[in-house]
């Protein structure tokens, strides 16, 4: 015989109702509201509403906060991260902000994301057309590099070596995400992202604008340092495994290889980008 139905205790006593309510609050069971669909709980990895992007990590968010082109909708931040970002209390920020526990951000990003206690939801940055390219002397062009970790790392190297823009195709390129932004470690906010529909046509436009377009290829006929010429350089890199597409190989001014005398003759595309950027920057500096 249950305790709630023992002799002398009403079947639906106040005590029994409290016990049921307590079980419901703990998630043991919950009665549905008639005529109302239950709300699906947020799942890590769910995209935010209204086409926003979720960006996280101390370096990433600091750069986002310092970028006047960013429109931030809200922030979730722990007290520790708030101090490390050197921010005043959230109430002084020009957008809604809430102090939370790390696990609250984990529920949104997933426990594997290194969010460092801060997340913002913001409008994505709009890519620019090739016509918006400024007077920079060094740019990077990616031929269907799709891994957001690689693209983010390439952005970081591009900013470090003073490249003025990153050119990608509208298709077969990663969109702006927290993973890409975290890999870029703030660089997403410091480099122009130019998006083109046809890469071969874009390379021809770059040639007309005075850029020497150099495609990196492990089987290139000459070493990269021996290939540079002119006052403007566009480094073109292909996806890992596939490399540059045939049309791209036919369109660039030159194909070149990195000098790798060791037993391994290829690098991760983000590492190759960093080495090539260093070589190109050294050439441009010596060329005056």
Q: Within the chain, what is the greatest distance between any pair of CA atoms?
A: 99
Does position 52 have pLDDT exceeding 80, yes or no? yes
Least confident of 43-57, 161-175, 209-223: 43-57
Section 131-152 average pLDDT = 95
Rounded alpha-carbon distances, angstroms, from residue 157 to 140, 195, 202, 241, 278:
10, 19, 22, 21, 9
Q: Which position has the higher pLDDT, 22 or 280? A: 280
Residues 213-257: tens digit of each pLDDT: 999 998 899 999 999 999 999 999 998 888 999 999 999 999 999
Does position 24 have pLDDT exceeding 90, yes or no? no
d(CA 273, CA 236): 9
Rounded alpha-carbon distances, angstroms, from residue 97 to 43, 107, 110:
21, 17, 20
Does position 29 have pLDDT exceeding 80, yes or no? no
pLDDT value for 47? 60
Rounded alpha-carbon distances, angstroms, from residue 96 to 72, 99, 171:
9, 10, 34
Does position 17 have pLDDT exceeding 70, yes or no? no
Rounded alpha-carbon distances, angstroms, from residue 81 to 56, 58, 187, 247:
11, 7, 20, 47
**pLDDT mean across residues, the chain:** 85
User: Given the structure tokens 């007290």, which residue do they identify?
Assistant: 79
Structural domain 49-122, CATH architecture: 2-Layer Sandwich (3.30)
pLDDT value for 2? 45
* pLDDT-based confidence at residue 46 (cuts at 50, 70, 90): low
pLDDT value for 22? 38
Q: Could you tell me which of 159, 170, 168 has the C-alpha nearest to residue 136? A: 159
pLDDT value for 91? 63
pLDDT value for 90? 65
Helix 148-160 vs helix 269-287: crossing angle, to nearest 10: 20
Q: Could you tell me which of 58, 88, 90, 76 has the C-alpha nearest to residue 121? A: 76
pLDDT value for 172? 87
* pLDDT-based confidence at residue 48 (cuts at 50, 70, 90): low
* pLDDT-based confidence at residue 86 (cuts at 50, 70, 90): confident
Does position 145 have pLDDT exceeding 50, yes or no? yes
* pLDDT-based confidence at residue 266 (cuts at 50, 70, 90): confident
In the sheet with 53-56, reading across from the earlier edge strand, the strands are: 53-56, 118-122, 72-77, 97-99
d(CA 282, CA 276): 10
The domain ranges of the chain are 49-122, 130-287
pLDDT over 90 percentage in the chain: 69
pLDDT over 70 percentage in the chain: 82
As assigned by CATH, the class of the 130-287 domain is: alpha beta
* pLDDT-based confidence at residue 49 (cuts at 50, 70, 90): low
d(CA 146, CA 177): 12
Residues in the chain: 288
């Amino acid at each position: 015989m249950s305790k709630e139905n023992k002799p002398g205790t009403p079947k639906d006593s106040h005590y029994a109702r409290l016990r049921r309510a307590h079980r419901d609050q703990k998630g043991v069971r919950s009665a549905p509201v008639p005529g109302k669909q239950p709300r699906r709980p947020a799942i890590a990895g769910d995209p935010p509403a209204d086409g926003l992007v979720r960006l996280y990590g101390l370096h990433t968010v600091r750069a986002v906060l310092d970028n006047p082109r960013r429109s931030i909708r809200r922030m979730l931040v722990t007290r520790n991260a708030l101090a490390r970002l050197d921010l005043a209390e959230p109430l002084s920020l020009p957008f809604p902000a809430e102090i939370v526990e790390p696990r609250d951000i984990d529920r949104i990003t997933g426990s594997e994301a290194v969010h460092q206690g801060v997340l913002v939801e913001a409008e994505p940055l709009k890519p620019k057309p090739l016509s918006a390219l400024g007077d920079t002397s060094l740019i990077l062009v990616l031929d269907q590099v799709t891994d957001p970790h690689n693209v983010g790392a390439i952005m970081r190297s591009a900013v470090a070596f003073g490249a003025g823009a990153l050119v990608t195709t509208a298709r077969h390129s990663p969109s702006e995400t927290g993973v890409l932004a975290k890999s870029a470690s703030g660089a997403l906010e410091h480099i122009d992202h130019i998006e083109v529909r046809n890469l071969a046509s874009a390379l021809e436009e770059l040639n007309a604008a005075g850029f020497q377009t150099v495609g990196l290829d492990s089987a290139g006929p000459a070493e990269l340092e021996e290939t540079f010429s002119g006052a403007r350089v566009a480094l073109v890199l292909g996806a890992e495994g596939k490399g540059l597409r045939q049309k791209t190989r036919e369109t660039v001014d030159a194909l070149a290889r990195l000098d790798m005398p060791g037993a391994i003759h290829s690098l991760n595309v983000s590492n190759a980008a960093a080495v090539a950027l260093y070589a190109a920057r050294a050439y441009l500096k010596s060329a005056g």
